Amino acid sequence: MVAGQNLFAPISIVAAEDLVAAVTARSELNRLLYVDLRIAIGDNDLFKVTRMAELAGIAVRFPMLDPRLVEFTATLPAWHKVRGTEKRYLFKRAFSTLLPAATLAKVKHGFGLPISGWLRSHGPFRELARDTLLSRQSRERGYFMPGVMEELFRLHEDDRTPFYGDLLWSLLMLELWHRHHGDSA
């Protein structure tokens, strides 16, 4: 770890290489965990959770991200964190008498929004996406060959993974960005 650094201060993509170079952890796992903490957790996950909770009037705390605890776990050998394919090994051992077995066995999932599911199940949201992305205004931008957007919607309906839904979400945001910023296409 890099001593004396604010672990949760935002970092730009440009500074990522410098960040990786500055990490002094011996194991590759600990170096990757530090970069993940700074970039994915610090710049993305904590921001999303905190802002959404604030909108709901909820104060969120992250006890497992206490800087002293994070610094301590950074000094632990990688084998305490992962054993074979079992992640969070030490955490599970430490809390094995306090947490139900189902909680300890639960598969980790991220903070991602279920956009793909919403596009399938929420009619007004699906209609907004279809109306926006299949509109003349969107087609005239010339980003895609004719029929590509229709094919993406078809693939999304046929595929149960979030891949096409996430792609459609990104394209919807791009189109709405164009419209918001006065693009007249």
Q: Where are the domains of the chain?
A: 16-105, 115-180
Residue 1 has pLDDT above 50, yes or no: no
Residues 152, 164: contact at Cβ < 8 Å?
Answer: yes
Which residues, 6 or more positions from 151, have their beta carbon under 8 angstroms from its beta carbon? none
Given this model, what pLDDT does residue 13 score?
55
Residue 52 has pLDDT above 50, yes or no: yes
Q: How high is the pLDDT of residue 96?
A: 94
More confident residue, 41 or 1: 41
Q: What is the pLDDT of residue 173?
A: 95
Burial of 165 (C-beta count, 10 Å sphere; 0-12/13-18/19+): buried
Instruction: Indicate whether 109 pLDDT > 50.
Output: yes
What ranges in the chain are assigned the alpha helix state H?
16-22, 28-36, 46-55, 67-75, 89-94, 101-105, 115-121, 123-133, 136-139, 148-158, 163-180
Contact 144, 160 (CB under 8 A): no
DSSP for 83-103, please give it. Answer: ETTEESHHHHHHTTTTS-HHH
CB 42 within 8 A of CB 9: yes
Residues near 114 by beta carbon (within 8 Å), at least 6 away in sequence: 162
Specify the pairing of strand 86-87 against strand 82-83. antiparallel
pLDDT in tens, 116-149: 999 999 999 999 999 999 999 999 999 888 899 9
Query: What size, in residues, is the chain?
Result: 185
Residue 6 reports pLDDT greater than 50: yes
For residues 175 and 139, give the distance between their C-alpha atoms in angstroms, rounded to a whole number: 10
Q: What is the pLDDT of residue 12?
A: 58
Tracing tokens 């959770």 back to the chain, one arrives at 49
